[in-house]
């Protein structure tokens, strides 16, 4: 079962990222058609895959992606960058500029240039509209075929029988057509050519792409009996490594070396990905050993404290963060995590005091506002909670959990129309369409201002039409 699921996942990943190098001005299907295809695919991806909506992690990946895009010509559509929670080495792009990177691949990285390298390569696939060109060449392939391939994945990944997943895939005619959309060595070389250009124009060192490719390749050498997904969907890795090494030698001989970008931001986000979404047992063992080896390193204690918190060992986690604060007393992010752990451990007054101090230092930090709002909710300060959580939803609309607790706080205040409205949005973002419908219908039975009433009616119409909303942020 496991190998079957992975085989189908790899097939679809290859399908959505395949491409040819081509002048950007040569169009096959229209931009509108490509966006329609992307919308349908995104609805299924968000419905069946565990997409991380942590605003700091997603915000960081988007900042790196937007830095790359700022050095490129104007694009016909907006790009969005997403993180899938899965312990594999993979990344892919859909039509119309949606780029996905897996949390397992981010965990494997040591610096921002590696992330920039992967994103630059995927952007290059989108830049020449590879998928639309291949669909144009193969008239039999279209949105229905892509949907069929995706449905095959979803049945398998969702625990359905391999036979059912295979039947759906074959029934869509995708199985017979997938070869026509597969990668070639020249595809990858050409994507690297554009990717290297985008990376260096954005001020990054292209060595990051080389480093992460070597890590992906090395995963096959450490006793694993599974080939990393990325190697299956992005073939000819040895050729790519050789090409990039040659390119770097030539480039570095004629250009001044670019200093490494500030790594503090990357390290903070990497720590979040690892301690919140990595394999709990593996990460715990690793970080426990790290503290034992480096007892004087405050950040080793910080990371260990975070994984202790994930295990619900609140007091031990607090002690580890207090050790960190003896050396980094005014670090707002360490203090924010301390306030978060106080909250999770039920120490609400300490959480309130700590998070209010953090807010004075980083007033627009989404997680600080979120946990401060939740703390006020637990302390029955419902008005303060609703103000804070409203701010989170306005500034970070992809942060789904904020809508749930905003709905809770408004319900406590007796604003039932607004409470049901925000709960409806929460369940819609979670793709629980049945519960979303119930909440939105309840919202319309109560007092709602004109804009919210209009939006609730619009969302209900979409649900009734069975058109999943693409609100990945």
Residue 368 corresponds to which tokens in the numbers above? 């600080």
Query: Tens-digit pLDDT profile for the chain (473 aa)?
Result: 444 444 444 444 444 433 333 444 444 567 887 788 778 778 777 877 899 999 999 999 999 999 999 988 888 889 999 999 998 898 888 888 899 999 999 999 999 999 999 999 999 988 877 666 655 655 555 555 655 554 444 444 434 445 544 554 444 444 444 434 455 666 777 788 889 999 999 989 889 999 999 998 887 665 555 667 777 667 778 888 998 998 888 877 666 656 667 789 999 999 999 999 999 999 999 999 999 999 999 999 999 999 999 999 999 999 999 999 999 999 999 999 999 999 999 999 999 999 999 999 999 999 999 999 999 999 999 999 999 999 999 999 999 999 999 999 999 999 999 999 999 999 999 989 999 999 999 999 998 888 999 999 999 998 887 544 444 44
H or E segment at 63? Answer: helix 55-70
Domain encompassing residue 162: 2-217+235-254
Domain count, the chain: 1
Helix (H) or strand (E) holding 99: strand 98-102
Element at 196 (helix H, strand E)? helix 185-201
Contacts of 57-66 with CB under 8 Å at 24 or more apart are 57/83, 57/269, 57/272, 57/273, 58/82, 58/83, 58/398, 58/473, 59/366, 59/396, 60/265, 60/266, 60/269, 61/101, 61/106, 61/115, 61/119, 64/112, 64/115, 64/116, 64/119, 65/99, 65/119, 65/123
SS3 of 28, please?
Answer: coil
Would you say 301 and 320 are in contact if contact means Cβ atoms under 8 Å apart?
A: yes
| Beta-sheet strand order (sheet of 98-102) | 80-84, 98-102, 91-94
State the pairing for strand pair 98-102/80-84: parallel
Is 196 inside a domain boundary?
yes
Within-domain flag for 262: no
Q: Does some domain include residue 344?
A: no
Report how far Cα 367 is from the mean position of its chain's Cα atoms.
16
- Assess contact for 472 and 82: CB atoms under 8 A: yes
Please state the separation of Cα 148 from the chain's center in Å: 24
Show the tokens assigned to 274. 């690892």
Residue 461 · residue 37 · CB < 8 Å: no
Q: Could you tell me if residue 135 is inside a domain?
A: yes
DSSP, residue by residue, 344-401: HTT-HHHHHHHHHHHHHHSTT-HHHHHHHHHHHHHTT-HHHHHHHHHHHHHH-TT-HH
Q: Are 266 and 112 in contact (CB under 8 A)?
A: yes
With respect to residue 312, please indicate whether it lies within any of the assigned structural domains. Answer: no
């Amino acid at each position: 079962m496991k190998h079957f699921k992975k085989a189908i996942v790899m097939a679809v990943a290859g399908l959505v990222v395949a491409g040819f190098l081509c002048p950007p001005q040569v169009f096959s299907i229209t931009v509108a058609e490509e966006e329609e295809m992307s919308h349908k695919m995104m609805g299924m991806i968000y419905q069946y895959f565990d997409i991380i909506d942590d605003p700091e992690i997603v915000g960081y990946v988007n900042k790196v992606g937007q830095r790359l895009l700022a050095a490129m010509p104007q694009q016909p559509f907006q790009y969005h960058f997403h993180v899938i929670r899965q312990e594999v080495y993979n990344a892919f792009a859909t039509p119309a500029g949606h780029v996905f990177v897996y949390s397992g691949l981010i965990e494997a990285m040591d610096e921002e240039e590696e992330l920039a390298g992967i994103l630059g390569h995927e952007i290059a696939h989108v830049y020449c509209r590879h998928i639309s060109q291949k669909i144009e060449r193969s008239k039999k392939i279209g949105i229905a075929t892509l949907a069929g391939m995706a449905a095959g994945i979803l049945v398998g990944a969702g625990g359905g029988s391999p036979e059912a997943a295979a039947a759906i895939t074959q029934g869509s005619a995708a199985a017979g057509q997938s070869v026509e959309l597969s990668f070639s060595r020249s595809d990858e070389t050409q994507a690297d050519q554009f990717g290297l250009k985008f990376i260096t124009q954005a001020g990054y060192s292209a060595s990051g792409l080389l480093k992460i490719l070597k890590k992906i390749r090395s995963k096959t050498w450490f006793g694993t009996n599974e080939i990393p997904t990325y190697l299956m969907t992005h073939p000819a890795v040895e050729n790519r490594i050789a090409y990039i090494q040659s390119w770097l030698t030539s480039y570095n001989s004629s250009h001044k070396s670019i200093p490494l970008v500030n790594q503090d931001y990357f390290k903070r986000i990497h720590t979040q990905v690892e301690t919140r979404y990595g394999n709990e047992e593996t990460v715990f063992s690793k970080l426990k050993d790290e503290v034992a080896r480096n007892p004087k390193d405050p950040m080793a204690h910080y990371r260990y404290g975070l994984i202790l918190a994930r295990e619900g060992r609140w007091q031990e986690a607090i002690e580890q963060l207090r050790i960190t604060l003896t050396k980094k007393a005014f670090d707002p992010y360490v203090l924010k995590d301390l306030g978060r752990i106080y909250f999770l451990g039920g120490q609400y007054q300490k959480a309130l005091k700590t998070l209010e101090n953090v807010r004075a230092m980083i007033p627009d930090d989404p997680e600080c506002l979120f946990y401060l709002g939740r703390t006020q909710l637990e302390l029955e300060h419902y008005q303060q909670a609703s103000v804070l959580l409203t701010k989170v939803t306005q500034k970070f609309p992809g942060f789904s959990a904020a809508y749930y607790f905003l709905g809770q706080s408004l319900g406590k205040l007796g604003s039932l129309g607004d409470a049901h409205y925000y709960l409806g949005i929460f369940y819609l973002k979670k793709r629980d369409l049945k519960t979303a419908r119930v909440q939105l219908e309840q919202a319309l039975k109560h007092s709602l201002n004109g804009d919210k009433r209009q939006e609730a009616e619009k969302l209900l119409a979409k649900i009734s039409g069975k058109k999943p909303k693409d609100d990945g942020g």
